[in-house]
């Protein structure tokens, strides 16, 4: 295999060298005989260059070196044809230094290191075990737990591989043990792991903001609500599947619910839960809650979303999940939620990512105080399960507030938030007794490797873009995309179709570094908000992890799923392995859900553009008037020349 790859490399290198020699040695007379060919080649230099890059990638060469080599080769060809100025190459060292001096990209190693430390700190195991107990008694309970924990891990780690591998190792054997369909189990684990790409602090959002020359904080805030809504769509799919086909996602048996309190009566809990659901429905009917989100999803769709939320809440209450509730916890949650609603309604601040994070953190913080007092003084205010949930939820939510909360309220930049998150992850690992030298070494090595991978791709993309822009390739792409029929809608449909197809062959880093710089200027010229455009493409690029047969999330899950029959350590039964075909078929419905999410973002842009509500809004007419007041008119008297006294 190595010899075949080496032979292929030599063949391609020889062909390129031969083409260059022929291009340089052949006299201009050869082209003079066919002037049309020379003109055609110069006019189509940009698409030829892009097509050559595709050939390089399909031959299996590393992306970074393919980009750089393609850029340098076509720079030499462009110089010989008189299409590319040689002085452009003098800007190459400055572009490389500018990339390495970019402070925004420092967030990549910080968030990567944070995710790798948390992956090995045992937090995922505790979350999956506890949340699985909460939802375990209902159909699809373990799948709901995987989605919930996947969203939490996404908001803390930001690394897809860490989330998929952790949940695959922990949840997949348990789901198979209790009779889950292998396609449903593998699909929900892979899809929940990819939430780390769209829910902040996502690495791809950092790269997206850098490539579109926009704020990472705005990109994070704009992507927060779509990320949560995507997790909700995953849960809705599990609800429909488990309702129509109950056998594919059964509930946990009583003997598996180890945190169940036998002394707690389920009837009072259901009564309290029904009261909570009725109060929730009252707030929806009176318009209090829909008013808060009117800017995100306008019209009747807003009412429909809140109605669905109320229905789901009532379903979970009547299905037994309400056993978490005790009178004291019910009172605490009521006070916390009422305080959050009062704060948002009285201050006039719109419902957005910052208030989701802050109110969630305040609610859990208040519950944590109650749980600590309950454990210290043995008051019996909380059930065993409720107390465990509070203690398990506090560390990740505290880390979410430390990272996202400080970014959203403007206290820290994304780079500073990543640094604080890394320190917080080290503290959590130390508190759990998992902070060892070997853990630090592995996390540091993996962080350095991933950061170097990203940086080399970016450097190669800089070389490629220098030549591509030098031969006016950006104008060719812009003219091609802007002239599409249908205006903005036609442009969005074509771009999403292109990204979806390319996601079969390229991962999200390659898409972000190669495709996004070409699409951004055209979108900006059409008047499209680039934050909204970036979030929409990030959701679309999420399919690159789920595309059979090249999706990386599927590969990650395949690496930890059983390949041969094994004996289950709890039941002692012989368990059949998970086939690759089952993993692929399980991913297909979630790819469709991701495409539905892209359509929802296009239909309801307010769920992304709410990031503008917290910023200072400038009136362009007033700004123009100020400039006109400061500058003299065309008929104004010319001011006298400045006399510094040198002529005396």
The pLDDT tens digits for 191-239 are: 988 888 888 888 888 888 888 888 888 888 888 888 888 998 998 899 8
The backbone torsions φ and ψ at residue 575, rounded to the nearest 5 degrees and listed phi first, read -105, 135
What's the rounded Cα separation, in Å, for the pair 15 and 31? 21
In which residue are the tokens 């605490």 written?
A: 332
Number of H helices, E strands in the chain: 31, 2
The arithmetic mean of pLDDT across residues 588-594, rounded, is 92
CA distances from 515 to 401, 417, 448, 500 (A): 33, 28, 25, 12
- For residue range 100-151, what is the model confidence (pLDDT) as tens digits? 777 777 888 888 888 788 777 777 777 777 777 777 677 888 888 889 888 8
The arithmetic mean of pLDDT across residues 501-528, rounded, is 82
Highest mean pLDDT among 329-333, 372-376, 425-429: 425-429
Q: For residue 31, is it within any domain?
A: no
CA distances from 416 to 101, 111, 361, 399, 464 (A): 16, 10, 20, 13, 31
Is the pLDDT assigned to residue 290 strictly greater than 90? no
The arithmetic mean of pLDDT across residues 264-293, rounded, is 59
- For residue range 158-180, what is the model confidence (pLDDT) as tens digits? 677 777 887 888 788 888 888 88
The DSSP bridge partners found for residue 575 are 566
- Could you tell me which residues come within 8 angstroms of residue 362 by beta carbon, excluding any fewer than 6 positions away? 336, 339, 340
Q: For residue 559, is it within any domain?
A: yes
In which residue are the tokens 């809705």 written?
A: 236
pLDDT for the residue 230: 92
Q: Taking the CA atoms of the chain, what radius of gyration do you get in angstroms?
A: 28
Q: For residue 96, is it within any domain?
A: no
pLDDT band at 593 (very low <50, low <70, confident <90, very high): very high
Is the pTM above the cut of 0.85?
Answer: no
Burial class from Cβ neighbours inside 10 Å (0-12, 13-18, 19+) for residue 397 reads buried
Q: For residue 422, is it within any domain?
A: yes
DSSP character at residue 402? I
Task: Supply the range of the domain harboring residue 205.
Answer: 107-451+548-614
pLDDT band at 433 (very low <50, low <70, confident <90, very high): confident
DSSP character at residue 403? I
Q: For residue 286, is it within any domain?
A: yes
Q: In terms of pLDDT, which residue wins out, 189 or 564?
A: 189
- For residue range 395-404, what is the model confidence (pLDDT) as tens digits? 887 787 778 7
Q: Which of 365-369, 563-567, 642-646 has the lowest mean pLDDT?
A: 642-646
pLDDT for the residue 634: 44
Q: For residue 338, is it within any domain?
A: yes
What's the rounded Cα separation, in Å, for the pair 470 and 464? 10
The arithmetic mean of pLDDT across residues 583-595, rounded, is 91
Q: In terms of pLDDT, which residue wins out, 14 or 586?
A: 586
What's the rounded Cα separation, in Å, for the pair 345 and 347? 6
Question: Number of structural domains, the chain?
Answer: 1
Q: In terms of pLDDT, which residue wins out, 633 or 184?
A: 184
Is the pLDDT assigned to residue 324 strictly greater than 60? no
pLDDT for the residue 594: 92
pLDDT for the residue 275: 63
Q: For residue 262, is it within any domain?
A: yes
The arithmetic mean of pLDDT across residues 600-604, rounded, is 89
The arithmetic mean of pLDDT across residues 400-422, rounded, is 80
Q: For residue 254, is it within any domain?
A: yes
| Ordered alpha helix ranges (H), 34-159 | 35-43, 45-58, 63-81, 92-100, 107-119, 123-135, 141-156
């Amino acid at each position: 295999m190595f010899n075949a790859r080496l032979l292929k490399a030599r063949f391609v290198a020889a062909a390129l060298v031969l083409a260059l020699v022929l291009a340089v040695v052949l006299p201009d007379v050869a082209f003079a005989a066919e002037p049309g060919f020379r003109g055609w080649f110069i006019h189509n230099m940009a698409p030829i260059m892009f097509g050559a890059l595709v050939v390089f990638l399909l031959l299996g060469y590393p992306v970074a070196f393919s980009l750089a080599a393609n850029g340098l080769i076509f720079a030499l060809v462009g110089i010989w044809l008189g299409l590319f100025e040689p002085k452009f190459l003098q800007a190459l060292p400055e572009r490389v230094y500018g990339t390495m001096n970019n402070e925004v990209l420092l967030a990549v190693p910080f968030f990567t290191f944070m995710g790798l430390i948390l992956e090995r700190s045992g937090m995922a195991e505790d979350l999956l075990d506890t949340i699985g107990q909460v939802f375990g008694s209902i159909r699809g309970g373990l799948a709901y737990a995987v989605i919930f924990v996947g969203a939490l891990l996404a908001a803390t780690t930001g690394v897809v591989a860490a989330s998929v591998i952790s949940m695959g190792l922990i949840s997949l054997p348990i789901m198979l043990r209790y009779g889950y369909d292998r396609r449903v189990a593998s699909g929900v684990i892979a899809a929940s792991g990819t939430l780390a790409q769209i829910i902040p602090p996502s690495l791809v959002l950092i790269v997206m903001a850098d490539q579109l020359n926009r704020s990472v904080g705005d990109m994070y805030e704009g992507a927060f609500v779509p990320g949560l809504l995507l997790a909700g769509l995953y849960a809705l799919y599990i609800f429909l599947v488990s309702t129509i086909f109950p056998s594919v996602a059964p509930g946990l048996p009583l003997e598996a619910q180890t945190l169940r309190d036998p002394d707690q009566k389920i009837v009072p809990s259901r009564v309290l839960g029904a009261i909570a659901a009725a109060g929730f429905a009252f707030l929806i009917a009176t318009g209090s809650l829909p008013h808060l989100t009117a800017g995100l999803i306008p019209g009747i769709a807003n009412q429909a979303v809140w109605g669905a939320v109320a229905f789901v809440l009532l379903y979970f209450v009547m299905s037994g999940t309400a056993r978490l509730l005790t009178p004291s916890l019910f009172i605490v949650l009521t006070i916390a939620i009422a305080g959050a609603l009062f704060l948002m309604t009285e201050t006039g601040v719109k419902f957005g990512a910052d208030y989701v994070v802050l109110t969630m953190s305040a609610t859990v913080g208040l519950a944590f105080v109650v749980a600590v007092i309950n454990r210290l003084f043995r008051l019996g205010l909380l059930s065993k399960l409720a107390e465990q949930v509070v203690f398990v939820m506090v560390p990740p939510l505290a880390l979410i507030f430390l990272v996202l909360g400080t970014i959203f309220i403007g206290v820290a930049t994304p780079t500073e938030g990543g640094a604080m998150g890394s320190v917080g992850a080290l503290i959590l690992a130390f508190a759990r007794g998992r902070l060892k030298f070997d853990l630090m070494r592995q996390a540091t090595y993996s962080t350095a490797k991933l950061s170097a991978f990203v940086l080399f791709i970016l450097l190669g993309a800089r070389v490629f873009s220098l030549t591509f822009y030098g031969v006016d390739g950006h104008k060719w792409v812009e003219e091609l995309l802007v002239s599409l029929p249908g205006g903005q809608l036609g442009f969005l449909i074509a771009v999403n179709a292109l990204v979806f197809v390319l996601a079969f062959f390229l991962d999200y880093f390659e898409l972000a570094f190669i495709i996004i710089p070409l699409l951004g200027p055209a979108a900006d010229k059409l008047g499209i908000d680039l934050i909204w455009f970036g979030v929409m493409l990030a959701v679309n690029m999420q399919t690159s992890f789920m595309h059979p047969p090249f999706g990386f999330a599927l590969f990650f899950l395949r690496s930890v799923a059983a390949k041969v029959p094994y004996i289950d350590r709890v039941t002692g039964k012989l368990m059949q392995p998970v086939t690759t075909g089952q993993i692929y078929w399980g991913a297909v419905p979630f790819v469709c859900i991701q495409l539905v999410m892209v359509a929802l973002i296009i239909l309801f842009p307010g769920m992304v553009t709410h990031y503008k509500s917290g910023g200072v809004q400038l009136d362009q007419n007033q700004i123009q008037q100020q400039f006109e007041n400061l500058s003299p008119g065309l008929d104004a008297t010319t001011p006298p020349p400045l006399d510094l006294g040198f002529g005396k």
